[in-house]
Amino acid sequence: MIAETPAQAAAAATEAILADFTGGAHRGVIVDSPPGAGKTTLVVTAATTLADSGERLMIVAQTNEQVDDLADKLASKAPALTIGRLHSDGFSVPARVTRHPGVTASNKIEHVEACTVVIATADKWAYVTGRTWTWAIVDEAYQMRSDKLLAIAALFDRALFVGDPGQLDPFSVVDTERWAGLAWDPMQSAVAVIARLNNLPVHRLPVSWRLPASAAPLVSEAFYPFASFRSGTAAADRELRLTTAGFPVPWDRTLNEAAASGWALHELPSRHTIRTDAEAVQACAGLATRLLQRGAVAHDENGSHDVSPDRIAIGCAHNDQVAAIRAAGIPAGVTVDTANRLQGREYDVTIVLHPLSGRRDATAFHLESGRLCVLTSRHRHACIVVARAGIAELLDNHPSTGRVQLNVPVKFPDGWEANHAVLAHLSRHRIEA
């Protein structure tokens, strides 16, 4: 048998998904998509396919940013389509959406319901009543809490649920143990609930177009143990080059390692610190600054471009860390955010403050595999992890001991194991600061 190229594998998967979705045998189809696997492209293809056969559909995404991205892509790819962008009162729709003549934006469903495609956040859809659509696409369905799906499920007959199972689970500020084990536990993701209560086909997108060949195997093995995927590009397709040589100092050596191998662990001396560890914060900000000073150029399958500030992100676990890194002085335009907000975004180079760096304990929050998965799968070229030494020992001192509850499906991967897998890989790219 001749091995499929990544493009052929992806095309075959898309075809099978559309056949199942529009075939009518199931009320819903679930699509698991690893990071950067062309999820948005799939949504756009499904929407245009339905629209071409004269059907109307509704699209649900989770944040306004996701909705605007989708509306923009949809309108760019299918200019003839009429698209309704439904939004909340007082929200101003960005120009990248309103520039398309086919897009109508309004905060009232009456103004946009005639459009072939109506797109809004789940929160906004929850206020729509008295109308139904035959077809729906729910994007980022693993980020959606199941009670949000409950509020909008009456609006559609059939739905395509698309999302990344490796991302962060929905969370709540209250104790939700009361519902643990129930099939409709409102704290689960929308996909978890529909999959448990309905027998629906599950598809997988097999190729990550974002992650380079250096990252796809690790991310796949650590975070998607039963749904492996491969990189859409070969090692030779991507190259990160630093145009200046740099000094033999830790920051520059870390950047050299990242440019050469796609990974770097910038390791600070072992120490218990407060969350906003001044040295780690300084390292994150300093590495971003130095990366720009050294003039990084990224070569990929689409050509070459300078790595500008907007192609760099710094990710961490907590909001106070974000604030501290911003306050430490970062080049204008570099994104600094928590894992929750970086979900679904893409950069050339990411700098990650390891969630367990400097901690005394490994709590469920810090061990959650989704958090580390989001942080280590946003990059097209290189990922630099900043951490205090001693995380492996910390993990060994805090074996994963969550309470076992009846009827709660076992979750894979285990955060503890995923953390170890990533650390083991990073130890080969360690630079001691």
Residue ranges that bind other proteins, judged by CB under 8 A: 27-28, 89-92, 107, 123, 126-127, 129, 146-147, 149-151, 153-154, 159, 172-176, 178-179, 182-187, 190, 193-194, 197-198, 274, 319-320, 323
Taking the least distance from each CB to other proteins, the nearer of 133 and 209 is 133
- Least separation in angstroms between residue 106's CB and other proteins is 9
* Placement of tokens 């790219």 in the chain: 429
Measure the CA–CA gap between 127 and 112, rounded to whole angstroms.
Answer: 14
Taking the least distance from each CB to other proteins, the nearer of 72 and 185 is 185
Taking the least distance from each CB to other proteins, the nearer of 93 and 227 is 93
**Whether the Cβ atoms of residue 189 and residue 161 lie closer than 8 Å to each other:** no
Q: Are strands 296-300 and 303-306 parallel, antiparallel or unpaired?
A: antiparallel
- Least separation in angstroms between residue 235's CB and other proteins is 39
* Placement of tokens 């250096």 in the chain: 214
| Crossing angle of helices 39-52 and 6-23, rounded to 10° | 50
**Whether the Cβ atoms of residue 156 and residue 58 lie closer than 8 Å to each other:** yes
Beta bridge partners of 51: none
- Least separation in angstroms between residue 151's CB and other proteins is 5
φ and ψ of 283, to 5 deg: -65, -40
Taking the least distance from each CB to other proteins, the nearer of 10 and 190 is 190
**Whether the Cβ atoms of residue 203 and residue 29 lie closer than 8 Å to each other:** yes
**Whether the Cβ atoms of residue 336 and residue 322 lie closer than 8 Å to each other:** yes
Taking the least distance from each CB to other proteins, the nearer of 156 and 251 is 156
Taking the least distance from each CB to other proteins, the nearer of 32 and 252 is 32
Q: Tell me the two tokens of residue 236.
A: 């030779």
The CB density around residue 313, as the number of other CB atoms within 10 Å, is: 24
Taking the least distance from each CB to other proteins, the nearer of 91 and 412 is 91
Taking the least distance from each CB to other proteins, the nearer of 179 and 247 is 179
**Gyration radius of the chain over CA positions:** 22
What one-character-per-residue DSSP string does 261-287 give? HSEEEEEEPP----TT-HHHHHHHHHH
The CB density around residue 309, as the number of other CB atoms within 10 Å, is: 16
- Greatest Cα-to-Cα distance within the chain, rounded to the nearest angstrom: 67
